[in-house]
A and B are shown apart, each in its own frame.
Chain A
Amino acid sequence: MSARAARRDRPDQGRPSPWALLLNNRLAAAGLVILSAVVLLALAAPLLPLQPPDVTEPAERLKRPLAEGHLLGTDDLGRDLLSRLLWGTRVSLAVGLSATLIAAFFGSLIGLVAGYAGGRTDSLLMRGIDLVMAFPYILLALAIVAVLGPGLLNALYAIAVVNIPFFARNIRGVTLGLARREFVDAARLSGKSHLLIVVTEILPNVLPVIVITMSTTLGWMILETAGLSFLGLGAQPPQADLGSMLGEGRKLLFTAPHVSVIPGLMIFLVVMSINLLGDGIRDVLDPRLKSGALARPSARTEVRRERVPPEPEADPGRVVSVAGLETQFRIGREVYRAVGGVDFRLASGECLGLVGESGSGKSVTALSLAGLVPSPPGRIVGGRVDFEGRDLLAASDAEIRSLRGGKLAHVFQDPLATLHPLFTVGDQLVEAIRAHQPLSRAEARERAHALLGQVRIPNPAARAEAYPHELSGGMRQRVSIAMALANDASLLIADEPTTALDVTVQAQVLKLLDGLRAERDTAVLFITHDFGVVSELCDRIAVMYAGRIVETGETQAVMAAPAHPYTRMLIDCVPVLGQPGRRLDAIPGLPPPVNRLPEGCAFAERCPRAQDDCRAGEVPLEPLAAGVADGRAVRCLHPIVEDEKKEPAE
């Protein structure tokens, strides 16, 4: 396998490289070009045919730019400005860069030690840093130079010291988070000493932050050097740096403006290009920005249907009918077929359990119904969702908005993430009610209390005043359920609503959901990976694998005699309470990646019953027993039930 082919197997592929990302950012690329040009010129200064920068020639003083022999003119002592500019840029860049490196080294060191050690060491170091930050930075730099005496090297020290706090605080924050991570504990248990842990485990993870901070402070440091030199505290005559050139030109601002304007322009170019490039580097390295947090997803999933199934025949009892639903994610050049054609129907008061492992597409299916899949990268490319007499995928944005939290409500896994932390649960309920119903605040509040009572929260009026963090996990999930029911939803989509809860609390929430469903005749689409939970609550189940339903039917029937090999193996690999001696038959291998689905049955690779025909051509979801309308269907050419059913029949 060639190196390129090997790389193609990696999960990263399809995403642009950091370099490509950086060059894609036009401003950053412009910064890079300008800075490279300046740096090259400055580096080449000794090689270029320039006049010596410090040799005075009073006869030639104050020549304008483009004068003969002096491209940029001369200053009041007759020194060549072009030569001084390039040599001065060299000095300014060198001082700025060394100051940045010194500040980065000591600042990061302090930050690492404080963040890793914590406790007293942390307090001591950070209070010291606070002390430094309490002085206006230029005052502090002035004071340091005043003590050490003027000179370029002393200015460098002063600027480095002044900038140490930026690094220390940044790095400490990151280290603090890393030092509590499990891999640090693991390194300790691997016998590594504290020093080794900081250097080999934490530092590599902090390095990107150090680089980001450096790239964003370098420009600032060059400005500060120029500032000190301008005040006459940095570079001493006759040595040129950009700040001192500016300072010398200041006296001649009106008679010979070019003497100060030229170094001023150079400072502007250097600092500007460094800042543009620094921002670009930050955008590329910062994982939060990389994950696309800056690209705001649209309010609704993009729908571009290539296939639209016909309208289903009318059925008064049915709440929702999904046919041929296909949702994809497009990342880079890759197409991830998260949902590859899903069909199901739900009658009022019915509970359908959508069961599958992570990555099987069960959550994306549920989110697609109300257009909640983030776009980009999500896109619905086929199918229809008929809900209360209309196709949701063709509905207007306004219609969808009024449905969400209204007739079609969601309950998610983690209520702490879905409830707003800064508002009381009562206020959030009131808002949910008033978004859909023309009620006064007082009426809505009354209704909110009634809802909290319905989800069996004792003393609802008092609990409504609580903030989410003041409630236990089970209580928060009850609030989420109350919110979902606030506007008499006819379809409740519950996405792993009990997975984060303790088993005794889960038992209560399951009972509650079951009771509410019976009371209000709400249809429930219940998403879970747990067959125990499904058996407890659902009338029918649909098992998903690699974006498709592979088996569906009445819960009892499927659990008693699963027909698809995947269902069978999935049930068999879970330990069952009360059967400790049962052998766990693990399913070998892993599900196929949904951006590279095999031809034919997606499970064939792991299936003990697979034959040659399984790997060729589409396998349809077909009724298990022809002519029997029990809703039992399976996507398998060689289902298990066949042989077992024949025996009693014969």
Chain B
Amino acid sequence: MSAAAEPIIEVRDLERRFGGGRDLLGRPKPAVHAVQGLSFDLLKGETLGIVGESGCGKSTLARLLVGLDRPSAGTIRLEGRDVTALAGRDPRALARVVQYVFQDPVSSLNPRKTIRAILEAPMVHLLGLDQAARRQRLDELMDAVRLRSEFLERYPHEFSGGQAQRIGIARALAADARVIVLDEPVSALDVSVQAQVLNLLDDLKQRFGLTYLFISHDLSVIESVSDRIAVLYFGRLAEFAGREALFAEPRHPYTRLLLGSAPVPGRRSVSAEEELAELPDPLNPPPGCAFAPRCPRAQEDCRQRVPQPQDGAVPGSGHQAACLHPASGPLAGAEAAARA
């Protein structure tokens, strides 16, 4: 990704709280921060990978970006326009630019609608195409996702997971969107089908000049698709870097833990924490860094203040880590050997 690429989406200090407020007697109700203090740019034409474990806020982030949910604080700007305001005033204008691919391909398709009805909906409501134009576009779409056009008259339950996910992708493309948010698009698929969908996504990106925000819990998938990667932990950014930098020299201890925990085919390489890996209680988060209770490098100050993302040794490289005592150098042991 060249440094000159301009941002298409700018996220600043994004925060999403669930619950909160006060009850009838004025007592504060418990609140959970799903996403907190998140800032990053999505550059035109790149694939930005978002990786993290359950509860890190990645799905909340995805819903915020496409306007299905509203931030509690902070801003999301799409080509200079405020997404939240746009989602309220003209959701169709937003949907023409940003589209979404869901994790569960089958439950994201209405079981009582034919594929034709599902794919035509965005063409009718977002683009206002007439029947002839729709027919032509349907053919293009089915061809692009490599499905036979006689499938158009069938219902979702007649498709396998991989085929259903390709229909989900076709729907996202139907509106001519330029940015596609992919929320765990291959997690529900079998491994052999996963590769088909990943390759298809790559082809479509080249062919239509798309920008992807690719969310996954699977590090190897994220590594294979992303130009830059954001690692989330407990609703906050832990580390943000280009793909090579992140995997060659992870700085945040959480990133290093993730990399060390991922099993690699053909090798016994997994290292695990000694203590039980428990996420903090979201209703009662620890003060300071949320990762400190699990962190082998944690010191006194980690438990007192929340670390902000900071540039590393090479300022301007874009390699940021939200850690007061970041590690340096390549990951030791088996993981490094795996890459060698």
Contact = CB atoms under 8 A, between A and B. Distances in A.
B108 interface: yes
B263 A529 contact: no
B276 A578 contact: no
Interface residues of A, number: 64
Contacts of B113: 201, 204
Interface in B40-71: 53-54, 63, 66, 68
B139 interface: no
Max chain A Cβ within 10 angstroms of own Cβ: one of B168, B192, B258, B267: B192
B212 interface: no
Interface string A585-600: 1111010000000000
B265 A531 contact: yes
Given A582-B224, A586-B199, A535 B104 contact: no
A474 B277 contact: yes
A578 B192 contact: no
Contacts of B109: 183, 186
B196 A586 contact: yes
A535 B269 CA distance: 9
Given A188-B91, A578-B339, A535 B263 contact: yes
A205 interface: yes
A529 B191 contact: yes
B221 interface: yes
Given A502-B217, A508-B277, A590-B160, A570 B102 contact: no
B198 interface: yes
Contacts of B162: 590
Interface string B11-29: 0000000000000000000
Contact of B268 (A188, A505, A536): A536
Interface string B156-194: 011010100000100100110000000000000011111
Contacts of A457: 276
Contacts of B219: 503, 577
Contacts of B243: 580
B110 interface: yes
B276 A187 contact: no
Nearest to B99: A189
B317 interface: no
A111 B124 CA distance: 28
A318 interface: no
Contacts of B66: 189
B183 to A, nearest CB: 10
A473 B53 CA distance: 12
Contact of B53 (A204, A502, A577): A502
A357 B190 contact: yes
B126 interface: yes
B107 interface: yes
Contact of A574 (B63, B118, B194): B194
B270 interface: yes
Given A11-B158, A508-B276, A205 B102 contact: no
A490 B109 CA distance: 45
B300 to A, nearest CB: 23
Contacts of B32: none
A519 B278 CA distance: 25
A532 interface: yes
Given A183-B111, A504-B257, A505-B277, 19 more contacts: A183-B107, A185-B100, A186-B100, A204-B110, A204-B113, A473-B54, A474-B276, A474-B277, A474-B278, A504-B53, A504-B277, A507-B260, A507-B262, A530-B263, A570-B191, A574-B265, A577-B223, A578-B338, A579-B339
